[in-house]
Structure 1
Amino acid sequence: MKSIRIFITVACLGLAAVVTQAFTFIKSEKLTRAVTPGKGFAVIELFTSEGCSSCPSADALVARVEKEVTDKPVYILAYHVDYWNRLGWKDVFSSAEYSARQNQYADWLNLSSVYTPQIVVNGRKEFVGSDESTLRNAIKSDLEIASKSELALNDIKVNGDNATVHYTTGAVNNSVLIVALVQKNATTKVQRGENGGRTLSHVQIVTRLKSIALNNSKDGTENISLPQGFDPLKWELIGFVQNKANGQITGATKAQFPSAMSAQVSN
């Protein structure tokens, strides 16, 4: 009987140790998950033009994706380049600044030339802008990679044709903060060029692009000029932190203008 009691006691102690170890593991796992840095994100930069006959399919693709990812940290920016303007139709949303940004990506990604439509995701991968499967796979994989830089845009104030926004960020080594003023949607009836006679729909049109030198400063306030007829419900701000050496985007967020936020709350 004594030996049986000893066996039972040892067995109970062993079981308790296993339970304690399992509890410790579960507790440790929860703590590890709790301290994991920010969620993944995907910054989708589309280079497009109303003068390019291949671009409407890419515009339509990002519009579909935008509707599907409203609850996810996916940020779409459509840059209308200006090098198609000489071929019969001047894209009203185009800018040489956006063409220059695309050429910068060509340098970062070791491309021999630029083209439209082109998509760049998180500054790291590029492909034809109408390639739906590649885009969806890129979004899925990047949402699973934790953000390296924290970023917040807040305290937005509109005063006439200007807005101010306060930003806070984490890692700033060799990086810049880029803030884009984005028009959520628009349509254009194209009169000439490759898309002559077509009415084109656009989403997430970049209309202002501001690069802010962080210089080891993790917070600050920046001015953004607003267009005539500005309607806060039709515009938003998207910000992201980008490495100056290789173009990789390490953190991103977006913010609504004050009356737009009030409208969302009331709805």
Structure 2
Amino acid sequence: MKTIKILSTVAILLTAGFVSVAFINAKPPVKVVKPAFDGKGFAVVELFTSEGCSSCPAADAVVAKIEKESAGKPVYILAYHVDYWNRLGWKDVFSSADYSRRQNTYANWLNLSSVYTPQVVVNGRKEFVGSQEGTLRNAITAGIGKAGKATLALDGLKAADSQATVKYNADGAGENTALVLALVEKNATTVVKAGENGGRTLSHVQIVTKIQNIALNGHKSGEANIGLPKNFTAQNYEVIAFVQNVQNGEILAASRAVFPTVSASN
């Protein structure tokens, strides 16, 4: 499902000797507010996308631009490739039913009648079309400008025996919360051979390759494991985690951890 928006309305007025056409102008462009990275808040940007959707590459490009600009800042981008486009001619290698289920969970939390691609959800509470760059930038600014309701620290991330292990400490998480742990591939490229994007080479960033929810149940600290793919390299993967209210979807805190790399000997 793709979102279609009517940009202008045409009213045709007929008179005795001529035809006049009146256009109702589209809404003015969104005024973009520049974020101030002062350490008070954060922005978790969850993009629901698919290689089988012709509207999605534009949204992928927007989040790639923002990901590059916000390196080292409290902006956490996760791209989930949903699987419901796979039946239309191209199976997205990054897709998973888990991500489609997560998107449907957001539909319930946000009282939406349906899901669509490309869709972005920021900090679990605001959703819109993923290619709307101005709206996304303003949502990021709002998230960063508002202090989180909890804090999350990750430590000791390591990879061994086909799985990653990380320690976490979630202060102030409270009841009805879960730690959402995502393994993220930083970038990849696909040559799409069929479907709506057939013949295109698509570039992706911040691809979620595995996700799991860990109920906190009032316990603020612990150790979590997540499986690693066969093509894992420390340089091209990271872990993003956030604390989420499981009743309404609000994200209370977020953090990331990078895998240690071994320097080559001189």
Give TM-score scaled by structure 1 length: 0.82
Q: Identity rate of aligned residues, in percent?
A: 66
1:235 & 1:156 partners in 2: Cα distance? 12
Q: Which residue of 1 aligns with 2:74?
A: 73
Query: What is the CA deviation profile of residues 171-228 of structure 1, one whole-angstrom value per residue up to 9, with x for unaligned ones?
Result: 2311000010000000000000000000000000000101011111111011111110
1:12-91 equivalence runs, <5 A: 39-91=40-92
Matched position secondary structure for 2:46 = strand
Are 2:142 and 1:141 aligned?
A: yes
1:184 & 1:250 partners in 2: Cα distance? 24
In the TM superposition, what is the alpha-carbon distance from 1:71 to its structure 2 partner? 3.3
Q: Which residue of 2 aligns with 1:219?
A: 221
Aligned-pair Cα RMSD in Å? 1.2
Could you list the runs of 5+ residues in structure 1 that have no partner in the other structure? 1-37
Matched position secondary structure for 2:193 = coil
Matched position secondary structure for 1:105 = helix
The runs of 4+ residues in structure 1 deviating greater than 6 Å are none
**Aligned residue pair count:** 225
Matched position secondary structure for 1:201 = strand
2:70 & 2:246 partners in 1: Cα distance? 28
1:153-172 equivalence runs, <5 A: 153-172=154-173
Q: Which residue of 1 aligns with 2:28?
A: none
Query: What is the CA deviation profile of residues 85-124 of structure 1, one whole-angstrom value per residue up to 9, with x for unaligned ones?
Result: 0000000000000000000000000000000000000001
More helix by share: 1
> Alignment partner for residue 246 of structure 1, among 244, 248, 252?
248
Q: Which residue of 1 aligns with 2:8?
A: none
Query: What amino acid does structure 2 have at the position aligned with 1:202?
Result: H
Give TM-score scaled by structure 2 length: 0.83
> Alignment partner for residue 179 of structure 1, among 172, 178, 181?
181
Q: Which residue of 1 aligns with 2:16?
A: none
More strand by share: 2
In the TM superposition, what is the alpha-carbon distance from 1:163 to its structure 2 partner? 1.6
